[in-house]
Structures are given as C-alpha cells and as structure tokens.
C-alpha cells in the first residue's frame, strides 16, 4: 500500500527539506521513491536516513508541493534528521539499499524508531481531494492544462461539501498556484 507522507531529510549543510512522498508502507520497512532530481534523493544519498511523517494537516502537503516552506521541527531520536513538530506520528528510517535507475529511485529502508504525537482523525473527502490537487500541482509540466483545471473543479466540489478551514485554505493555495502557473504559460 502507498501511504502519502511528508518525508523530511537533511542536506550536507544541515538544511532541512520537507517533501510530500507516497511511500510503500510496511511496519518494519518503508520504500521511498524520489525522482532523481529531488532534494530528497540527494539528501538521503548522503545521510542514508530520513524521517517519514504522518499528518492529517493537508496544508503541509499543499505548501510543500508548491514551495520550500519551513515548518517547525524537532531533532529525530535516532537518525540524522528532523521530525515535524505538528505531525501525528513518525518513522525514522535508515537506508538499506538505493536503486538509482532514472527517472525515479527506489530507496529501501528499515524503520529504526517510531513515535506518536497526536491522534490521526479518520477519513475526510476534502483532505483526499486536496492530496489529489497537490499531486496535480507538482505535475503541471506533464499534464494538459485543461485536464488540471477540470480536475480542480471536480475536487473543489468535495472541498465545498466536506472541508474545514484548513482544507479550504490548502485548496485555495493550490488553485492560486495552478492559476498563476498556467497564466505564466499563456504569457510566454
């Protein structure tokens, strides 16, 4: 099963990177599959470690999908890395093997530590809609503009029906980003 997470990694210079990543979930093993050009791939290649954060706050997914935000973090317990201060739970992982075949690497890891901060509240359609919208926002260079706009309209209906303020804010951020990106293409 693929679980949508926020993977935090640390660069050689100590800088923190937060990236939404769909990881292959196992209780003791997690597979992370960053594209070769990502900071996540570069950082994990150097530190051989990462923190896989679980959060129900989709604003974190939205912001990290479209920019390089700084979130409050705390040092990881075991690995060289950081934990999102507001996550629900996290796994600290160490690299077992890296397959660097482009375009997408496959990093097999072992869970060496785990922790829980707060309850993960159950399913919400608006949250899932925001996750889908966030994925589209990271693939604007690959997708037809008309397709993305139609998808956003469809997903907005779910947000309007079932969202709270955080989900509405996240969706608005993503729509604004897509709107500005597609306008930039028109101008070019």
Ligand X SMILES: Cc1cc2nc3c(=O)[nH]c(=O)nc-3n(C[C@H](O)[C@H](O)[C@H](O)COP(=O)(O)O)c2cc1C
* Residues making contact with ligand X (CB under 6 A): 4, 17, 19-22, 33-35, 38-40, 61, 65, 131, 134-135, 138
Rounded to the nearest whole angstrom, what is the least distance from the CB of residue 5 to ligand X in the complex? 8
- Between 20 and 81, CB nearer to ligand X: 20
Burial of 117 (0-12, 13-18, 19+ CB in 10 A): middle
Three-state secondary structure string covering the chain: CEEEEEEEEECCCCCEEEEEEEEEECCCEEEECCECCCHHHHHHHHHCEEEEEECCCHHHHHHHHHCCCCCCEEECCCCCCEEECCCCEEEEEEEEEEECCCCECEEEEEEEEEEECCCCCCCCHHHHHHHHHHHHHCCCCCCCHHHHHHHHHHHHHHHHHHCCHHHHHHHHHHHHHHHHHHHHHHHC
Rounded to the nearest whole angstrom, what is the least distance from the CB of residue 49 to ligand X in the complex? 14
Q: How far is Cα 86 from Cα 97, in angstroms, rounded to an integer?
A: 29
- Between 125 and 186, CB nearer to ligand X: 125
Rounded to the nearest whole angstrom, what is the least distance from the CB of residue 148 to ligand X in the complex? 13
- Between 39 and 166, CB nearer to ligand X: 39
Rounded to the nearest whole angstrom, what is the least distance from the CB of residue 76 to ligand X in the complex? 17
Rounded to the nearest whole angstrom, what is the least distance from the CB of residue 33 to ligand X in the complex? 5
- Between 136 and 187, CB nearer to ligand X: 136
- Between 111 and 135, CB nearer to ligand X: 135
């Amino acid at each position: 099963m693929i679980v949508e997470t926020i993977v935090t990694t640390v660069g050689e210079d100590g800088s923190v990177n937060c990236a939404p990543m769909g990881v292959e979930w196992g209780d003791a093993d997690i597979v992370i599959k960053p594209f070769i050009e990502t900071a996540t791939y570069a950082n994990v290649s150097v530190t051989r470690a990462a923190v896989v954060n679980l959060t129900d706050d989709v604003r974190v997914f939205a912001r990290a999908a479209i920019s390089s935000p700084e979130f409050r973090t705390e040092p990881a317990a075991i690995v060289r890395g950081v934990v999102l201060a507001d996550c629900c739970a996290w796994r600290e992982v160490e690299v077992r093997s890296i397959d660097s075949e482009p375009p997408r690497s496959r990093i097999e890891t072992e869970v060496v530590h785990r922790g829980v901060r707060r309850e993960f509240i159950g399913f919400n359609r608006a949250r899932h809609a925001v996750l889908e919208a966030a994925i589209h926002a990271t693939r604007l260079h690959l997708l037809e503009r008309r397709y993305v706009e139609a998808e956003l309209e469809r997903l907005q209906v779910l947000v309007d029906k079932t969202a709270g303020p955080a989900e509405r804010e996240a969706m608005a951020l993503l729509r604004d980003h897509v709107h500005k990106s597609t306008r930039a293409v028109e101008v070019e």
